[in-house]
Amino acid sequence: MSITTPAGFEAAGIARGLKSTGALDLALVVNRGPSNAAAAVFTSNRCKANPVLWSEQVILDGVVSAVILNSGGANCYTGSFGFQTTHETAETVAANLGVSAGDVVVCSTGLIGVGDQVFRDKIVGGVPAAVASLSSDGGPDAALAIMTTDTKPKQAVAGGEGWSIGGMAKGAGMLAPGLATMLVVITTDADLPSEVLDRALRASTRVTFDRVDSDGCMSTNDTVTLMASGASGITPDAAVFTRALTALCHDLALQLQADAEGASHDITITVVNAASEDDAVVVGRAVSRSNLFKAAIFGNDPNWGRVLAAVGTTEAEFDPYNIDVTINGVMICKAGEPFEDRDLIDLTPRAVSVLIDLHVGAETAAIYTNDLTHDYVHENSAYAS
Amino acid sequence: MSITTPAGFEAAGIARGLKSTGALDLALVVNRGPSNAAAAVFTSNRCKANPVLWSEQVILDGVVSAVILNSGGANCYTGSFGFQTTHETAETVAANLGVSAGDVVVCSTGLIGVGDQVFRDKIVGGVPAAVASLSSDGGPDAALAIMTTDTKPKQAVAGGEGWSIGGMAKGAGMLAPGLATMLVVITTDADLPSEVLDRALRASTRVTFDRVDSDGCMSTNDTVTLMASGASGITPDAAVFTRALTALCHDLALQLQADAEGASHDITITVVNAASEDDAVVVGRAVSRSNLFKAAIFGNDPNWGRVLAAVGTTEAEFDPYNIDVTINGVMICKAGEPFEDRDLIDLTPRAVSVLIDLHVGAETAAIYTNDLTHDYVHENSAYAS
């Protein structure tokens, strides 16, 4: 049930003192082949961390032999010294594994601006021990080592007849603190070329990780890497593989949402009958980014007015006076007027469903977000101090 | 020092039980002329309250005789009954003043969805008493009557030789609760046609009210109305008038920021050396809408990484690795690397200055925002219950 479930992969998670608690904080995932096909997607933030700048080059040829990931520092805005740290990390992994440094993806998570000599020594100096710890059941340790404020590791598996996909994730969409970088590593023993992997990964992340929007803040370090070992000897149909990959990403995305820092509600905003999928996403995202709406849900207040006010800020196609809003199954607003009784809505459960019917088309999209709570403010105001 | 400072205006503020506290809650401002030229700007939210739908029509001919404003209910998404309430309010004001209903602007503020028969009766039934209370020193009462969660009334005056401008405001940009509609009434005894007033008002609001962004939420009810009585007999130069009007709007905008609900810091985000003013606004607004940045400031944490991460989400022209960030006078980040010591920054005062230097042009803009606090979450989660 981890990234080492698919054949051909080994992983390790070790402690290098990057976390003050002494917990595992350096993870290594190695693809033993026979294939080394890979794909990756990165944050669209223009302010990118050094590991992202490095890894964007690594993935260009569609070949990845290993991914090394650290918690305890984002190595973002740490200048040329920080980039050299990433480079040296990849070189050291490569030397210890007998592969090319240009095939080593590097991921970091933690505070921006953290990446000094001590940080470098802990990571680079830990590579031999990480390599020595590699095992075909090391997936769970790796999943632990990439956690920051995650309260639990996040793992999932999927697959088909004779082949499988494994995944691990950390972070909470773009949630805090320190922007809670989302790092994901996905492995498969299916035998697929990098072009197929790339298309499948982009199709999957578009409707899963890209739709988790805990607090509207975009990290500088987000990286999702997919590696295929081919060790099963099976080449599934691309559509079948994409469906399985999407299911796995959806599973991990909901685990991220459920563990979003400080949250007391998991809110699914579903927009239906939109003119286009883009419109549905834009409307859902506008609601997911309304602090007023999110604070209301924290207070168990089905404040549909704040939903419509957020919808109204978008350019999506709709008639403002022909929108229905249903919260937890109760249509509290129909055609822009109060409808069913707000007292029928029970917002005490953690799961909240908001259904917005735009009545103009047939497209739909769901956005996964959380409420705005005292714990969110606390954890994000007290983090760096 | 109020909207009745300029000659030609009378105002009143009375209590009609819309506020449960018994405080003043219905305001009336009347232009006694000789001119009735006016201009107005409204929320750009596509989900507009009934008073906005009404008043957008009123302003088309550039003539306004009176503005009536209520707190205690937004009359938004209250259907045709709500629109009829607005219409009947205007008709009643018109009948009592001997003017045309088509020259009466109506403004409401409060919860969306509130606008029943009781609400209507309190407003419409209060019109005769409001008219009876009109006086040439009624401005301060009117300013009190439009308050919702404002802790103090907001008034300002400006002007030139022999003419003056008075203004009152309520709300806090787009801050909570209930979206804290920003309502502003501005009076002047300058003698200017509506076309000049319209240009001056748009030029002024663009760089003042439009740049207060307390929590990124846009109200359904925002209305800024400017009326000119011409009673001074003076026609100032349009540029001179616009400068005075901008100064008055800036004063009121900072009063809104200073009273933003739940805030413990007033943050001015100034973007300099941008390629365009639009770029500067986009970058400033992105930072002002980062919950992570705002929570950090609440915690007195000069978290420049969260500033850059927000900047990086925009399409503005910049080199991500040539941006300086100065917080309260300390350049904590230079060219994308840590620079001066963060411990030099004192964030205990309420006023916070964030200066972002993009190093690509000569344009600048300032955005006025607040921190994200426990009080914000509390007041916006507990409001409707």
Tokens representing B295? 């929570």
Q: B38 pLDDT exceeds 50?
A: yes
A172 and chain B: CB distance < 8 Å anywhere?
no
Give percent of chain A above pLDDT 70.
96
Which among B25, B9, B221 has a CA at the least distance from the CA of B126? Answer: B25
- Name residue A12's amino acid: A
Q: A176 pLDDT exceeds 70?
A: no
Give B234-279 pLDDT, tens digit per residue. Answer: 999 999 999 999 999 999 999 998 988 789 999 999 999 999 999 9
Q: Do A47 and B178 touch (CB under 8 A)?
A: no
ipTM: 0.84
pLDDT for B24 equals 97
Q: Are the CB atoms for A168 and A91 separated by under 8 Å?
A: no
> A280-284: long-range contacts (C-beta < 8 A, 24 or more apart)?
A280/A316, A280/A358, A280/A363, A280/A364, A280/A365, A281/A211, A281/A365, A281/A367, A282/A314, A282/A315, A282/A316, A283/A311, A283/A314, A283/A316, A283/A318, A283/A356, A283/A358, A284/A211, A284/A356, A284/A365, A284/A366, A284/A367
Q: Are the CB atoms for B345 and B328 separated by under 8 Å?
A: yes
Give the best residue of B298, B306, B347 to mutate against chain A (max A CB count within 10 A). Answer: B306
Pairing assessment for the beta strands A351-357 and B9-14 based on DSSP bridges? unpaired
Mean pLDDT of A27-46: 95
Q: How many CB pairs under 8 A join A and B?
A: 205
A346 and chain B: CB distance < 8 Å anywhere?
no
Complete edge-to-edge strand list for the sheet that includes strand B163-170: B37-42, B223-228, B183-188, B163-170, B154-160
Torsion sign across C-alpha atoms A47, B295, A181, A195: negative
Q: Taking the domains of chain B in order of start, what are their residue ranges?
A: 9-258, 266-381
3-state DSSP assignment of residue B203:
helix
Averaged pLDDT of chain B = 93
Tokens representing A356? 């917005």
Q: Do A299 and B384 touch (CB under 8 A)?
A: yes
Q: Residue B80 — φ and ψ, nearest 5°?
A: -65, -30
Mean pLDDT of A6-29: 96
Round to whole Å and give the CA distance between A280 and A358. Answer: 9
Round to whole Å and give the CA distance between B58 and B267. Answer: 36
pLDDT for A383 equals 53
Give contacts of B216 with chain A, Cβ < 8 Å: 289-291
Round to whole Å and give the CA distance between B70 and B92. Answer: 14
Give B303-328 pLDDT, tens digit per residue. Answer: 998 999 899 989 999 999 999 999 99
Q: B175 pLDDT exceeds 70?
A: no
Residues in Cβ contact with B257 at an 8 Å cutoff, skipping those fewer than 6 apart: B172, B173, B212, B214, B263, B266, B368, B369, B370
In angstroms, how far apart are the furthest CA atoms of chain B?
Answer: 67
Give contacts of B300 with chain A, Cβ < 8 Å: 385
Give A230-280 pLDDT, tens digit per residue. Answer: 999 999 999 999 999 999 999 999 999 898 878 999 999 999 999 999 999
- Name residue B82's amino acid: G
Which among A71, A55, A57 has a CA at the least distance from the CA of A17? Answer: A71
Query: What's domain B266-381's superfamily in CATH?
Result: ArgJ beta chain, C-terminal domain (3.10.20.340)
Task: For the beta carbon of residue B264, count every other beta carbon within 10 angstroms.
Answer: 16
Q: Using CA coordinates, name the residue in chain A closest to B318.
A: A46
pLDDT for A180 equals 54
With a CB-CB cutoff of 8 Å, which residues 228-287 of chain B face chain A? none
Q: Do A305 and B111 touch (CB under 8 A)?
A: yes
Residue B86 among the catalytic residues:
no
pTM equals 0.87
Q: Are the CB atoms for B174 and B214 separated by under 8 Å?
A: yes
Mean pLDDT of B181-190: 93
Give A161-171 pLDDT, tens digit per residue. Answer: 999 999 999 98
- Name residue A200's amino acid: A
Give B331-362 pLDDT, tens digit per residue. Answer: 999 998 899 999 999 999 999 999 999 999 99
DSSP string, B295-325: HHHHTT---HHHHHHHHTTS--S--TTS-EE
CA of B40 vs chain A CAs: smallest distance (Å): 20
CATH code, B9-258: 3.60.70.12
Round to whole Å and give the CA distance between A333 and A347. Answer: 16
Lookup result for tokens 């549909």? A304
